[in-house]
Structure 1
């Protein structure tokens, strides 16, 4: 196959716009990863927080916080400008007549971070500067401390209160702290585990005052000075000291190394046979800048969650969100949202992770954490659908039919599939639909969305039909007929939940009460999974509801602002003030499937503006609730009451809308890849190169 002429994306293709914030704004500070762990900028021109390399963590401790001439940047109210790129974060602020700029990177293959601090005197006379850089401890190594949203740390935890029971022992002690007199570094040590955090400067501080590095500088007119701050985390302080000595010889190399490594990472993503993934992703060639930006931002959102730590209980994996919450957890549902992207990019990791989950009771947890390798959380009632979707995507893309007969635990993969496909029968009530549980099994943040719901009932129809198609291919025709009959029988039962004329659905309670809930989950699942079963006027009503009550210029509400439950929560991933990007992505495919390409064409520029803050967040605000950034939906912050993280992997639906709806790609169980493009309204000349299917590569482009 000829090498495509389109270029591999550059780091600049992913970078954010400049974003300005002061402490207390509705702002989600940018994060970084080096695939061993992650960090997040603090509300400061220099500081970082949430530094984790699971099983190592410094929790929510702030590190490298800057004070200049008694002006603490975090508390000053000064506006800090941020710009993210995959390999680095640049920040600037003006303190009097001093221009302050920093660049933050993570170490390549090491549990380290580097911050370069530049100070420029803009006065016409000499200035004296007192620079203070605050270090921090909290470091711990924990194998079992990743079962809550918060990363572990050693030290007082503000969330531990008497009514929550006995506080964990690591919250009752603080790290040791000592000065390495030879290197003039500060070394924090855990009292409860083998963990240390070494922090130092490129220039020996004039003094070390408890947790502060102090420097006195005199800058002449227009003169500049550069300092570097370094943090290394690990189990052996001698190794950390060696890392610091090597780093101090030329700290600037860390920034160059990060750039080069990320350039190789991006190249690997789009290169068949690369040495970083077990697969690759298609290369998109298009003159439609909105389409290209959406495609690339979806990809960086997923690969930013790749984790490959040598102490992982099950090797390379993908976390769900970062960098503050659940940083070591892998949620089954979120993986399923990016199923086809993962099946192309890293099919071996996808297969081994599916096998891991097949050995667990998926009715008692929502996923696993890769540090302990054990189950996490409570039952998510979407798990059956999510697992079948992951398995289907893997087999359709790779063609690995033999794997379905592989024993995983006590059964073959296909037997597991059948069990999951029929689990809804055990959940079905006297009313005719499965009871999917309380809010904690469903949307969590929407109190009224409980029990018998249209969304997962429609997903059940899809999974029955998908399994039926698979069984038909394998020649099991009697089972094929049975599964299709079960699916057909569910559709009229689902329709009983529809609010005629409203465009939305009700949730049926155990006593039979129908509670109307105007939520996006019902909209996206019914129009993606049973759209061919719905009459045209009903689909028109639903899309009208979406356009009038959910859709915004650059994002959407997950819950209609007219719903009676809008006062339940401000957690914007599932509420009225914003949305989880998974719902937004599924809404784009719903519009394609239901012949409303015109509406998607109108929406696409706004959605693209919402990519200009870096990877998609766990949720982003609608414009009425928070001012947009660069015309796009602002990321929701990690703090209460919003508690949404900076990056999430659930966005694979955008990838699927482009590849499977716009380009019309289909993966039959056997035979060649098929494609039926619908590109007229987007870019008739667009092409996809190196689309993997059953071990072969295909190009999809206009015919000559």
Structure 2
């Protein structure tokens, strides 16, 4: 029997040993109510946030050993991440210190179980202290910046714990130890709000201190709890409940995460309105990538009290853009959302349709407000989302639902499919101008205006909406969209650079800048591959192999592109790639006739599934050495500013379903299959794919059969 449902232990990252400021991204934890960053020392935590309470990137619980800051010893620390916990360990002055950090299930709290072992030959006493800080606040508005709000707090020492609260007492933090200890205030006056904490310090509320006498070879433990709430009584009650038995909370976290993972693959589970199909295969690389993707999808579920939609899926964690869902990133996991949680997806789509998708990049789950500027991809993203929702759920009635001023959902689809008309300029190219760097990839200065990717997507949008119109009997609309899509193809292909395998970006002055970027490769390849002449498909594939593909990851931008000198942000530049780009490139390879390239690549890619959920970017090894054979996650600090985890990992589920198994589901529910799965495992099966009211098994040889009851 092949393993089909992972446990938390199955998804454990490779242990990483590092020093304090190495380029190792600090990992995160979540319990779906909030998130926390687990820092490089043995106990420190940053960005402990449980919406609606936030505190930016404030750090707390930094460790002191016998009065000295632990980090200053310079000893290596090993951290080992799993979905339920992070274990950190080090040895200093013959003290072996191991800590286990978890987000308490169903509570707005984080705990750390600290075990200190005396590795000397004599009984000794060690003084353990944790420096306590918080900048908790409750904003009345959406968290409109990458870093969540924070504010100066008032600190109180009481009953062996330290409480910190906002000026309006609408945000509270309670921190303490579960053994007799001292809680002392620092006596330091908090900095004024106009003082830059990022330069000048972290803030000091106080410290928690305990002395442990330990016999040689023996160990003692102490538990730390950090509880968050919007009022003092709730914060203290949460603290009391969690700190009463910290080891039990650690054990509960494992059970909780094992149950969450099982639910994600189980029809009729009590956690999600749908489920993901089970992958039954002997191919360990394919299984590892599929499980990695599933973990990264459910990792971003958020259902804190006051969430305007009840449940949402965030985009990044644990550093940036908490409580924000980006349309673009959500759409890259579109098929996965439609399968796992279609009820949530329907609510999210309804919210976005009600707003003007041409004026923001996402929305806040705190308030429902739009966040950020326009992202050029939004028309393509929304068309893809509605299409996937309808074809996998069979909920065609959604198309006739009236939503605010937008009219019916079908009317919105028609609007999005032709929105490019209003983006055409006087250049005479017939192509849409998708704006400036901030509307597109943000760190590639030449990727602006008339880009091949989104103009090819316009062809796909029109054909997709035409197919939906046709099953509704709207033949005239369908014919018109299909004719217009066909007519646009020559203009898109005019951007192609003969012999190079890449495309140019048309500029307002009529010039064209060649851009050697994966986004053109992937979107053109997944939207209009059938319209490309054979020589173009071959050249594009050669370009990918030659300039973008690496053994275990890929470059988003070719290092032979002049813009490679513009930025070192690795999600879209030469030194790495955003997590969805290898998956989308894989689907493009299959569509372009190069499935063998993908199949040979999968083993290397699977080695990168060794550091927890997919990061916002992973480096290629020319930029930074790998970790355990995988491409290293990029860290959050400048100049990289990329987060430890990103929600677009569902793109890899689509790679497996749509690419490897060749699953095709039409808007009317018709199903076919036939991909390259047999090259990996001729007996591989996707079991339990839900399509409307049917549940089917998809076989490597292309057979689609109803699943056994």
TM-score (norm. length: structure 2): 0.94
Shift of 1:645: 0.4
Write out aligned runs for 1:201-350 (5 A): 201-206=177-182, 208=184, 210=186, 211-350=206-345
Identify the range of structure 1 (659-668 vs 392-401) with the bigger mean alpha-carbon deviation: 659-668
Equivalent position of 1:421 in the other structure:
417
Indicate the residue corresponding to 1:93 in structure 2. 90
For residue 35 of structure 1, the aligned residue among 32, 35, 38 is: 32
Partner of 1:403: 398
Once residues 50 and 225 of structure 2 are traced to their aligned partners in structure 1, the CA distance between those partners, rounded to angstroms, is 15
Does the Cα contact within 8 Å between 1:141 and 1:193 map onto a contact in 2? no
Deviation per CA, 1:591-634: give whole Å up to 9, x if none.
12122122112211111111100100000000011110011110
Aligned-partner SS, 2:175: strand
Number of corresponding residues: 680
Partners of 2:121 and 2:217 within 8 A in 1: yes
Q: Secondary structure of 2:606's match?
A: helix
| Cα separation, 2, equivalents of 1:394 and 1:29 | 35
**1:176 counterpart residue number:** 154
Work out whether 1:200 is the aligned partner of 2:176: yes
Distance 2:168 2:572 in 1: 38
User: Do the aligned residues in 2 keep the contact of 1:207 with 1:215 (CA within 8 Å)?
Assistant: no
Helix, strand or coil at the partner of 2:79: strand
Instruction: State the match for 1:49 in structure 2.
Output: 46
Map of 2:64 onto structure 1: 67
- Partner SS for 1:11: coil
Distance 1:195 1:265, change over 3 A: same
Mapped to 2, the partners of 1:347 and 1:62 lie a distance apart of 37
Q: Is the 8 A contact 2:73 2:92 kept in 1?
A: no
Which of 114, 118, 121 aligns to 2:115? It is 118
> Which residue among 77, 80, 91 is the counterpart of 2:77?
80
**Counterpart in the other structure of 1:516:** 514
Which consecutive unaligned segments of at least 5 residues does structure 2 have?
A: 187-205, 704-709
How far the C-alpha of 1:494 sits from its partner, in A, is 1.1
Q: Please state whether the residue corresponding to 1:407 is helix, strand or coil.
A: coil
What is the rounded CA distance, in whole Å, between the counterparts of 1:235 and 1:24 in structure 2?
A: 34
Contact 1:617 1:646 survives alignment (8 Å): yes
Between stretches 248-257 and 443-452, larger displacement belongs to: 248-257
Q: Does the C-alpha gap of structure 1 residues 335 and 207 become closer, same or farther in structure 2, counting only changes over 3 Å? A: closer
CA distance in 1, matches of 2:612, 2:2: 27
Structure 1 residue 261, shift from structure 2 partner = 1.3
Which residue, 564, 583, 586 being the options, matches 2:584?
586
The equivalent of 2:203 in structure 1 is none
Structure 1 position 658 matched with structure 2 position 653: no
Determine the structure 1 residue equivalent to 2:547. Answer: 549
In structure 1, what is the Cα distance between the partners aligned to 2:669 and 2:46? 50
TM score, norm. by length of structure 1 = 0.94
State the distance in 1 between where 2:580 and 2:496 align: 23
Is 2:444 aligned against 1:446?
A: yes
Gap change, CA 1:662 and 1:461, over 3 Å in 2: same
Q: Hey, what's the Cα distance between the residues in 2 that align with 1:647 and 1:5? A: 28
Q: Describe the SS at the equivalent of 1:13.
A: coil
Q: For residues 192 and 414 of structure 1, what CA distance do their matches in structure 2 show?
A: 46
Q: How far is the alpha carbon of 1:238 from its aligned partner?
A: 2.0
Distance 1:6 1:701, change over 3 A: farther
The alpha carbon displacement at 1:422 in A equals 0.6
Taking the aligned partners of 1:586 and 1:682, their CA distance within structure 2 comes to: 19
Q: Quick one: which of 620, 625, 634 aligns to 1:636? A: 634
What is the CA-CA distance between 1:5 and the residue it aligns to? Answer: 8.5
The answer (yes or no) to whether the contact 1:134–1:212 under 8 Å persists in 2 is yes
Q: Distance in 2 between matches of 1:670 and 1:506?
A: 37
Query: Structure 1 residue 245: deviation in Å?
Result: 2.7
**Comparing 677-686 and 545-554, the one that deviates more:** 677-686
Aligned partner (choices 677, 680, 684) of residue 686 of structure 1: 684
- Partner of 1:185 in structure 2? 161
Any conservation in 2 of the 1:673–1:698 contact (CA below 8 Å)? no
- Taking the aligned partners of 2:526 and 2:243, their CA distance within structure 1 comes to 55
Please state how far the C-alpha of 1:23 moved relative to its aligned partner.
Answer: 1.6
SS of the residue aligned with 1:640? coil
Q: Give the match for residue 601 of structure 1.
A: 599
Q: Please say if 1:133 is aligned against 2:111.
A: no
Long gaps (5+) in structure 1:
155-173
SS state at 2:648 partner: coil
Deviation string 1:624-651 (CA, Å, 9 cap, x unpaired) is 1111001111000000100000111112
CA-to-aligned-CA distance 1:447-503 (integer Å, 9 cap, x gap):
111100001011111111111111111222221111111111111111111111111
- What SS class does the counterpart of residue 571 from structure 2 fall into? coil
Paired residue for 1:383?
Answer: 378
Contact 2:446 2:513 in 1 (8 A): yes
Partner of residue 624, structure 2 = 626
Deviates more, 1:433-442 or 1:261-270: 261-270
Structure 2 CA distance for aligned equivalents of residues 76 and 124 of structure 1: 22
Structure 2 contact 661–699 (Cα < 8 Å) conserved: no
Alpha-carbon distance in structure 1 between the residues aligned to 2:82 and 2:292: 11
Alignment partner for residue 561 of structure 2, among 546, 560, 563? 563
Cα distance between partner residues in 2 of 1:677 and 1:19: 37
Q: Does 1:10 align with 2:20?
A: no
Deviates more, 1:684-693 or 1:62-71: 62-71
Distance 1:225 1:112 in 2: 23
1:412 to 377, 395, 408: 408
Residue of structure 1 equivalent to 2:431 = 433
Partners of 2:476 and 2:185 in 1: CA distance: 77
